[in-house]
Amino acid sequence: MDTLLKAIADTKRRDIIRLIWARELPAAEIAEYFPDVTRSAISQHLSVLRKNGVIHERREGTRRFYSVNRGEIVKLRAFLDSFWSDSLERLRDLAEVSEQQQGAS
């Protein structure tokens, strides 16, 4: 989980994920969406995301196409949701204890 979190810690990488969330895109087209970033830097971002399992790479001749690995995103969401669920469970437990204490008074 740590490597996944580190991989998406960078703003540009999260932007890339959003960009290819709904459809597969070639690297060159992805780079066009980031005119302020060099193609080399975009390539490095794609490499980090791919190596950490966040995105898939498909080669077609000399072109590389990228899509989101939704399975990894589902794992990340479950991990993050666990914080929310745990907090809600603790809140429920505190409310029950408080209710029991008020009923005993």
- Per residue in 14-69, pLDDT tens? 999 999 999 999 999 999 999 999 999 999 999 999 999 999 999 999 999 999 99
Which position has the token pair 């790479």? 57
Domains in the chain: boundaries? 2-104
For domain 2-104, say whether CATH 1.10.10.10 is its number: yes
> Number of C-alpha atoms within 13 angstroms, CB side, residue 56?
12
pTM of the predicted structure, to 2 decimals: 0.76
Q: How many CB atoms lie within 10 A of CB 42?
A: 20
